[in-house]
């Protein structure tokens, strides 16, 4: 870790340090969304609905592989940041080497199991007769690249964990740029269609992983991917998985929650699903700012937890203030321009009215989700594995009973508001656990919670 990284961890003014960690995270994830939109656009130029359907159906598989990468990456990353705060540099090398090789091994296991059961996976994802062939093609290529996709998300996390937030962002943006360039090449020049799109995704992750590997090997003072530092110990495994497993579970639940919500909205027609889809796209911009802010500062909180707890408190306080400010600004925009925003996507007056209503409600859900994500980030950064696990479960299981109860009594309005209700329950659970753990986290945290 170079002196610039140490500066942002230890000496930079809080607002400057938060910006250093959060802004690259926001920009990097925003580029990923741009890629996903362009990916569908390029494939859409072939005017083959079955191909677009295959692309949509395979998203859960990509999300699963990504979740495995975050399982190792987030668990290792927060542990690395805490170790850096304690100046245990040799242990950092052991953990980073463990993260590198274990993510590859998990990726290989996913690849082998997936290839042996590819037909079952295709059916499970819901492929129809028309989309089955293309879905299977995409899945096979994606499974072959699973070790590198998992590795990419692991390396992105551990690079950011040592303070190299800009380098982490550069790797994410590199992946997106390469992917877009390859999409154009494989679709318009080689005419590889779905196989080409999947291949482009895998290759872009490989190139970005090589970029991170080069950085770790040549620029990082403490991270390593050398096998000689690889070590499996109870301390490493416990600290990595007690944070990584809740992250993995939460990723799986969030994907399932979106599917379940769509099933309930389907009872009120395609307009309801379309309106929710439009509002979700509009909220992506404030979503990346709020969630990027929360997730980006996790390494800073983890480092400060072991090195300077007063600085940790100041970081959390400043982040909450920034979230409230951003939410207030975006709230005004959404409240006064919702109809205009929805009209960019449709001219149907019924859909505009329904979409505007859903947009107002889902924005409230987004703000509460941001606070919940901050709580989870604090638990992850401070090695509160049990609390992080409880939050991952609460977020996943609260929505289903809420949907049934709310729909029974309030119909469509109940379904729309159920997401906010479920997130608010998660927020209350997180706030309660943070209060109960205040003395373990920081003796002065009482004053923070009273603000």
Confidence of residue 179 (pLDDT cuts 50, 70, 90): very high
State the pLDDT at residue 442.
60
Q: Are residues 177 and 272 in the same domain?
A: no
Provide mean pLDDT across the span 358-384.
87
Tallying the residues shown for the chain, one arrives at 451
Tell me what the pLDDT averaged over the chain comes to: 87
Which of 170, 203, 232 is where one domain is finished?
232
For 265-277, write each residue's pLDDT tens digit: 878 877 787 788 7
Per DSSP, 190 falls in state S
Confidence of residue 4 (pLDDT cuts 50, 70, 90): low
In a domain, 243, yes or no: no
Residues 59 and 205 in one domain: yes
pTM of the model: 0.83
Total domain count, the chain:
2
CA–CA gap between residue 378 and residue 26 (Å, rounded): 18
| Same-domain status, 271 and 213 | no
Residue 200 domain boundaries:
3-232
Please tell me whether residues 215 and 291 are part of one structural domain.
no
pLDDT confidence of residue 448: 42
- Whether 310 shows a pLDDT value over 80: the answer reads yes
Q: Label residue 451 by pLDDT band (50, 70, 90).
A: very low
Shared domain for 345 and 422, answered yes or no, is yes
Both 270 and 228 in one domain: the answer is no
Q: Which pLDDT value is given to residue 230? A: 96
Angle of helix 193-218 relative to helix 165-184, nearest 10 degrees, comes to 150
For range 75-82, the mean pLDDT: 95
Q: Are the C-beta atoms of residues 107 and 65 closer than 8 Å to each other?
A: yes
Write the CB contacts of 406 (distance below 8 Å, at least 6 apart in sequence): 414, 415, 417, 418, 421
pLDDT in tens, 216-250: 999 998 899 999 999 999 999 999 998 898 888 87
Distances (CA, A) of 230 to 93, 102, 233, 378: 8, 10, 10, 28
CA 175 to chain centre: 16
Answer with the one of 232, 264, 288 that is the final residue of a domain: 232
In the predicted model, what is the mean pLDDT of residues 87-96? 95
| Same domain (yes/no): 208, 269 | no
Residue 150 lies in a domain: yes
Residues 5-30 have a mean pLDDT of: 87
Output the pLDDT for position 225: 96
Contact 299, 21 (CB under 8 A): yes
Residues 94, 221, single domain; the answer is yes
- For residue 255, the model assigns a pLDDT of 67
Cβ pair 434, 449 in contact under 8 A: yes
């Amino acid at each position: 870790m170079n002196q610039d990284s140490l500066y942002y961890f230890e000496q930079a003014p809080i607002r400057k340090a938060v910006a250093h960690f959060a802004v690259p995270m926001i920009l990097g994830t925003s580029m990923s969304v741009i890629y996903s939109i362009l990916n569908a656009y390029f494939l859409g130029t072939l005017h083959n609905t079955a191909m677009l359907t295959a692309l949509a159906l395979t998203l859960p598989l990509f999300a699963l592989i990504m979740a495995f990468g975050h399982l190792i990456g987030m668990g290792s990353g927060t542990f690395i940041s805490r170790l850096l705060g304690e100046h245990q540099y040799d242990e950092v090398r052991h953990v980073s080497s463990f993260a590198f090789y274990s993510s590859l091994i998990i990726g290989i296991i996913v690849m082998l199991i997936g290839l042996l059961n590819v037909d079952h996976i295709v059916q499970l994802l819901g492929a129809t007769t028309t989309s089955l062939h293309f879905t299977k093609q995409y899945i096979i290529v994606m499974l072959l690249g699973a070790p590198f996709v998992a590795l990419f998300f692991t390396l992105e996390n551990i690079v950011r964990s040592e303070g190299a937030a800009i380098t982490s962002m550069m790797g994410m943006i590199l992946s997106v740029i390469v992917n877009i360039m390859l999409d154009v090449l494989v679709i318009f020049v080689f005419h590889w269609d779905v196989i080409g799109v999947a291949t482009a995704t895998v290759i872009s992750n490989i190139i970005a992983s090589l970029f991170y590997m080069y950085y770790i090997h040549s620029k990082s003072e403490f991270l390593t991917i050398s096998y000689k530092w690889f070590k499996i110990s109870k301390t490493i495994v416990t600290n990595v998985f007690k944070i990584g497993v809740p992250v993995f579970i939460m990723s799986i639940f969030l994907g399932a929650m979106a599917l379940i919500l769509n099933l309930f909205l389907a009872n009120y027609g395609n307009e309801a699903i379309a309106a929710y889809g439009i509002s979700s796209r509009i909220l992506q911009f404030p979503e990346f700012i709020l969630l990027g802010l929360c997730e980006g500062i996790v390494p800073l909180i983890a480092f400060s937890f072991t090195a300077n707890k007063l600085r940790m408190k100041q970081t959390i306080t400043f982040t909450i203030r920034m979230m409230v400010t951003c939410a207030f600004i975006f709230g005004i925009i959404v409240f006064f321009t919702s109809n205009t925003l929805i009209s960019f996507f449709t001219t149907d007056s019924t859909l505009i009215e329904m979409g505007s209503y859903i947009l107002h409600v889902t924005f409230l859900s987004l703000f509460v989700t941001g606070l919940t994500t901050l709580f989870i980030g604090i638990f992850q950064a401070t090695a509160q594995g049990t609390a992080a696990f409880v939050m991952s479960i609460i977020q996943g299981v609260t929505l289903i009973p809420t949907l049934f109860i709310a729909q029974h009594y309030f119909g469509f309005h109940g379904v729309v508001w159920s997401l906010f209700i479920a997130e608010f329950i998660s927020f209350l659970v997180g706030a309660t656990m943070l209060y109960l753990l205040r003395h373990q986290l920081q003796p002065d945290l009482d004053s923070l919670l009273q603000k």
